[in-house]
Chains A and B, each alone.
Chain A
Amino acid sequence: MKTVKTLSLVAPLALAAFAPASAQEFSKELVEKGRYLATASDCVACHTNHAGGKPMAGGLPMSSPVGTIVSTNITPSKEFGIGSYTEAQFADAVRKGVRADGANLYPAMPYVSYAIMTDEDIHALYAYFMQGVEPVEEKAPETDLPFPMNIRASMMGWNMLFRPADKPLENDPQQSAEWNRGRYLAEGAAHCSTCHTPRGVFMEEDKGRNLTGSQIGPWFAPDITNDKVHGIGSWTQEDLVTYLKTGRLDHRAQAAGSMAEAISYSFQHLSDPDLNAIATYVRSVPNPDASQASAPTRFDQGKAGNELAGFRGKGYAKGIEGDHAGAALYVANCASCHGYNAQGTTDGYYPSLFHNAATAGDNSTNVIAAILYGVDRHTKDGHVFMPPFGDQPNTINALSNVEVASLSNYILKDYGNAKLKVTPEDVQVIREGGPSSQLVLFARIGMGVGAVAALAVLGVAVWLFRRKRPQTQTAA
């Protein structure tokens, strides 16, 4: 706690010398370095409304367990963006989650990860955002979370407890330079743990179980530790680099949801040495509950097959009511692309549904999410697109919860993890954007029953807030 406080006092001072960007002329090289770091940090994925919005102009609604958070305009617009930020204010926003006006960001912004970024890299990022990004003079919609999360000061207590020290990582001399570079990128800019590390009751990352898998909105970011059974311990270095470049590994896995965005906007654009560095580090991260090496993995379940003989010729209505309902739904909705035996295509554009991580994970989240939300991924190989079967404007067929459950159970039983069962209620949870956190409820109860404790936390927070503000103003 002491470290946090100290740094929050010292770091802004160190950078306070820089004036706002308009007075600056950054070198082209510095701006390009910043552009690369912004790509590695995947800023554009969240800070752009991909349905017609301009890059970095914000406005993307993101479902979080505590409500919908809307990303902000981070173009150098002075009125609507961050154009009047000093470098110190910019550094505080990126590494501490504190806005220029002193208000706290929600940790949907992965400042917890960005905290380890060096001053040098923050400087380059700042140069890029001030000079390399087109200002967009439009206001992004405000985030409106339910009480008490709408009180941004409530984040102060959270930060005191969970925000790490924003100091550069010390290199681990026991490890290679490549490993250290990989750790810096994976734990920092690339913020792998934001999605892949399970969270505690206060939505804080449980670093003791780093990268062991977590729910992220409607998707499940799987275990990517080097565990041979639950993680990606069966992948080679080349496998992981290929996956990060293309978003897929034939007959094993493909990226959807946030990972498809991360591949599309970030990983595929990184240099080979950096991708190798990330792979080297990630492949060294252990699962604390290491499993037996002999068990089957999520990459080798299921086999080709169909139940056509059970319903073909009986009529659609009968088919989806009978014993083969899931199979009938599969044939009607999925087989035209994935094949009547779920075998996919030889070029892998349409993956097989057996030997596929999405259908054989430890939970059924990604089967349901793939059906409801589809897949949308841009790589150098082209635009991979599976249409959604939810309630979107472009749904190809708005399947009901019962139908999605039935279809999921067929896919799991014949092609994936046969131990899993999906209920219509499970589907509804994913349809609503994923499980919601009990945090809102806890906080409300906390406000009512434990008002004293809550006030105490807020009191500390306000004290911190007051302490910080003068320096922010000085810096401006």
Chain B
Amino acid sequence: MVTKNSADVVIVGTGVVGVVIAEQLLDAGHSVLMVEAGPRVSRAEVVENWRNAPLGVKGDTSVAYPPRPWAPHPTGAEKGDDAYLQFTGPDAYDQTFIRYAGGSTWHWAGTSWRLTPEDMRINSLYGVGRDWAFDYDTLEPYYVRTEHKLGICGPSDRTKQWPQTGDRSAPYPMPDLPFSPGEVRFTEVVKTLGYNNIPVSQARNSGMPYDGRPACCANNNCVPVCPVAAKYDAETALHRLEKKGATILVDAVVYKVETNAQNKIEAVSYYDQHKESHRITGKLFVLACNGLENPKLLLMSKDDRNPNGVANSSDQVGRNMMDHPARSFTVTTKDPYWSGIGPVVNSGIMETSQGAFRSEHAGAYFRYNNFARNRFVTFAALKKGLVGKALDEEIRRMTACTADIVAAHEILADPNNRLTLSDKKDWLGLPKPSIHYDVGDYVRKCWEVYSQPIGKKIAEAMGATDVKISPKFNNSKHIMGGTIMGKDAGNSVVDVDCRAHDHENLFIPGGGAMAAGACGNSTITMVALAIKAGDAMVEQMRGA
């Protein structure tokens, strides 16, 4: 029986992790109540928010997702004390995520690289970072289920699949998408340097409908939103979950996780948009708000039994914040490349993320961004003082003859990269997250001796007449760490099923649990962990 204040399973968050688990529990016959801090909006509204925005603000994808006062998320418009995320340390953990029903897959690119067996044993093999609590073979079946659940397309040619090590137990449900003209050319160029630019496996319907969603029709608008839902995003599951019996509360900001005398979770409390408090009870609880909101909520929920915060007897909650620190090379070429046909990210060089050098420095993944270039080059063309036909021609030339190459780096789990509660408060009076962040020598050394030289070599081979390199590490918005997984309850937050070591009925799946994140985008691994947690929850409910 599900009501607005009780269910078998209470899930905080309606992003991809929450909806995947919700469906597993619903299919197993349990009642599910989902609680979302932000609003529920139609795809049409998001699409038009973006199209109505002037070109000058489109560098910030959050313009398509204006935050509600009670559910703030980072936007490009707010800086310093006014910003939702507060920063300390040498680097800014300047992420974006969306507090809307459907979560941040609304604006992901859909890129779905698996981890490699080596990525998960980085400490054993290279003596750095942390090993995962289990090996690749344990995770592999969950990767397969993720690929089929989300509809991830990818190559059937084994030589073009990632990872090259480790077995695949099933093919992708759809074939890879064709390369754009720019990608075809880029692939040829890097081949001369000995690198393989391979198709991205991506959560996008390639040439066919899948799971009741249409085929990709190449709007090249994956970020900030797929206008036709050909790219998987968690919003596409919400209506289906409701048909299966889920209740979804929106504009409901959970601010407290309440424990009982057995130190099990008894309830969660939320504020509605009128600042009124409500309490929800359940048997199992899932925090599915990823690596920033989950640790914030756990720290906010400290009580007498859990003085460091809920699930935090190890003092690891909020620590080990990770991302994929990125540097970009904006290349101007003599001859046209033409990006923009097909999805915004469609291929990449992954092999540069692997190697014995990882005992000394990070690896990096290189990608040729396939965003249509016109919106990035228009202001540069205007600055040249051109008008009329000359302006059009210059925009066209720069659209064809510029390209962005991005190097995304592997960062190590470091307990000093830490989220704490700021003394700055949000609209509801809840503390803002404050993150101390340093990308670390491991990443910096890679940039100096490995990734920057490779990037420059690629730019030269592309026939670059000009190369602009980003002056600092940018964030990739791949939020990992914060509720790290491990077998030892003394130095980790969750067990192999993303169950809190401290609370047997609390699950904290997603990127927060990742002990190492290598270079590839984290969502596929988050979902694989979610499905594994969902299985454990179904099993646990059987015993309940």
Which of A's residues lie within 8 Å of B, judged by CB?
Answer: 312-317, 319, 328-329, 331-333, 336-337, 345, 350, 382-383, 385-387, 391-398
Could you count the A-B residue pairs with CB atoms below 8 Å apart for me: how many are there? 74
- Interface-located stretch among B204-212, B301-309, B466-474, B490-498: B204-212
**In the complex, the 3 A-B pairs of residues with the closest C-beta atoms, listed nearest first:** A394-B212, A332-B44, A385-B209
Nearest residue (CB) in B for A312 is: B52
Would you give the 0/1 interface string for B44-73, flagging 1 where the beta carbon is closer than 8 Å to chain A? 110111011010000000000000000000
Given known A-B contacts A337-B228, A387-B228, A394 and B45 have beta carbons under 8 A apart: no
Nearest residue (CB) in B for A319 is: B48
| Contact B44–A333 (Cβ < 8 Å) | yes
| Contact A313–B52 (Cβ < 8 Å) | yes
Given known A-B contacts A336-B227, A396-B43, A397-B43, A314 and B243 have beta carbons under 8 A apart: no
A-B contact pairs, 29 of them (CB 8 A): A315-B52, A316-B48, A316-B49, A316-B52, A319-B48, A328-B48, A329-B44, A331-B51, A332-B47, A336-B219, A336-B227, A350-B217, A382-B208, A383-B208, A385-B209, A385-B215, A387-B213, A387-B229, A391-B239, A392-B239, A393-B212, A393-B240, A394-B211, A394-B212, A394-B213, A396-B213, A397-B42, A397-B43, A397-B44
Nearest residue (CB) in A for B50 is: A316
A344 to chain B, nearest CB (A): 11
Partner of A383, one of B209, B219, B229, B244: B209
Cα A430 to Cα B207 with chains together (Å): 30
Q: A336-B47, A394-B236 are in contact. List 11 more A-B contacts (CB 8 A).
A: A313-B52, A317-B45, A319-B48, A331-B51, A336-B217, A350-B217, A383-B215, A385-B214, A385-B215, A387-B212, A387-B213
Question: Interface centre among A312, A314, A395, by most B CB within 10 Å?
Answer: A395
A390 to chain B, nearest CB (A): 10
Which of B's residues lie within 8 Å of A, judged by CB?
Answer: 42-45, 47-49, 51-52, 54, 207-209, 211-215, 217, 219, 221, 227-229, 236, 239-240, 243-244
Residues of A within 8 A of B240 (CB): 393-394
Cα A198 to Cα B541 with chains together (Å): 55
| Contact A332–B236 (Cβ < 8 Å) | no
Residues of A within 8 A of B45 (CB): 316-317, 332
Cα A315 to Cα B49 with chains together (Å): 7
Cα A386 to Cα B229 with chains together (Å): 11
| Contact A336–B239 (Cβ < 8 Å) | no
Residues of B within 8 A of A350 (CB): 217
| Contact B48–A396 (Cβ < 8 Å) | no
Cα A387 to Cα B240 with chains together (Å): 14
Residues of B within 8 A of A345 (CB): 217
Question: Interface centre among B48, B52, B215, B229, by most A CB within 10 Å?
Answer: B48
Cα A397 to Cα B235 with chains together (Å): 10
Partner of A394, one of B208, B215, B227, B239: B239
Residues of A within 8 A of B228 (CB): 336-337, 387, 396
A270 to chain B, nearest CB (A): 25
Residues of A within 8 A of B209 (CB): 383, 385
Nearest residue (CB) in B for A394 is: B212
| Contact A337–B48 (Cβ < 8 Å) | no
Cα A319 to Cα B52 with chains together (Å): 10
Dominant SS among interface residues on chain B: loop
Question: Interface centre among B47, B49, B214, by most A CB within 10 Å?
Answer: B214
Nearest residue (CB) in A for B48 is: A316
Question: Interface centre among A329, A333, A392, by most B CB within 10 Å?
Answer: A333
Residues of B within 8 A of A337 (CB): 214, 217, 228
| Contact B239–A398 (Cβ < 8 Å) | yes
Cα A337 to Cα B42 with chains together (Å): 17
Given known A-B contacts A337-B214, A393-B212, A316 and B44 have beta carbons under 8 A apart: yes
| Contact B239–A393 (Cβ < 8 Å) | yes
Question: Interface centre among B42, B52, B212, by most A CB within 10 Å?
Answer: B212
Residues of B within 8 A of A332 (CB): 44-45, 47-48
A376 to chain B, nearest CB (A): 8
Cα A395 to Cα B54 with chains together (Å): 30
Cα A312 to Cα B209 with chains together (Å): 30
Nearest residue (CB) in A for B244 is: A393
Cα A345 to Cα B229 with chains together (Å): 19
Nearest residue (CB) in B for A374 is: B214
A415 to chain B, nearest CB (A): 19
Cα A392 to Cα B54 with chains together (Å): 34
Residues of B within 8 A of A313 (CB): 52, 54
Residues of B within 8 A of A333 (CB): 44
A263 to chain B, nearest CB (A): 16
Nearest residue (CB) in A for B212 is: A394
B248 to chain A, nearest CB (A): 13
Cα A329 to Cα B217 with chains together (Å): 19
| Contact B239–A395 (Cβ < 8 Å) | yes
Nearest residue (CB) in B for A387 is: B214
Nearest residue (CB) in A for B42 is: A397
Cα A226 to Cα B214 with chains together (Å): 35
| Contact A331–B48 (Cβ < 8 Å) | yes
Residues of A within 8 A of B244 (CB): 393
Nearest residue (CB) in B for A317 is: B45
Question: Interface centre among A313, A336, A386, by most B CB within 10 Å?
Answer: A336
Cα A319 to Cα B45 with chains together (Å): 10
Question: Interface centre among A393, A396, A398, by most B CB within 10 Å?
Answer: A396
Residues of B within 8 A of A395 (CB): 239
| Contact A386–B49 (Cβ < 8 Å) | no
Residues of A within 8 A of B43 (CB): 396-397
Question: Interface centre among A328, A382, A394, A395, by most B CB within 10 Å?
Answer: A394
Cα A337 to Cα B45 with chains together (Å): 16
B411 to chain A, nearest CB (A): 36
B540 to chain A, nearest CB (A): 27
Nearest residue (CB) in A for B226 is: A336
Residues of B within 8 A of A397 (CB): 42-44
Residues of B within 8 A of A382 (CB): 207-208
Residues of B within 8 A of A396 (CB): 43, 213-214, 228-229, 236
| Contact A312–B51 (Cβ < 8 Å) | yes
A245 to chain B, nearest CB (A): 20
Residues of A within 8 A of B54 (CB): 313
Residues of A within 8 A of B212 (CB): 387, 392-394
Cα A317 to Cα B41 with chains together (Å): 11
Residues of B within 8 A of A319 (CB): 48, 52
Residues of A within 8 A of B221 (CB): 336
Residues of B within 8 A of A317 (CB): 45
A401 to chain B, nearest CB (A): 15
Cα A382 to Cα B211 with chains together (Å): 16
Cα A135 to Cα B423 with chains together (Å): 69
A326 to chain B, nearest CB (A): 13
B392 to chain A, nearest CB (A): 19
Cα A319 to Cα B48 with chains together (Å): 9
B53 to chain A, nearest CB (A): 9
A324 to chain B, nearest CB (A): 12
Cα A319 to Cα B51 with chains together (Å): 12
Residues of A within 8 A of B239 (CB): 391-395, 398
| Contact A314–B52 (Cβ < 8 Å) | yes
Nearest residue (CB) in A for B219 is: A336
Residues of A within 8 A of B51 (CB): 312, 331
Cα A313 to Cα B56 with chains together (Å): 13
| Contact B214–A386 (Cβ < 8 Å) | yes
Residues of A within 8 A of B215 (CB): 383, 385
Residues of B within 8 A of A392 (CB): 212, 239
Residues of B within 8 A of A383 (CB): 208-209, 215
Residues of B within 8 A of A312 (CB): 51-52
Nearest residue (CB) in B for A336 is: B227
Residues of B within 8 A of A328 (CB): 48
Cα A303 to Cα B227 with chains together (Å): 24
Cα A77 to Cα B93 with chains together (Å): 64
Cα A395 to Cα B42 with chains together (Å): 11
A179 to chain B, nearest CB (A): 39
Cα A78 to Cα B213 with chains together (Å): 38
Cα A314 to Cα B51 with chains together (Å): 10
Cα A331 to Cα B215 with chains together (Å): 19
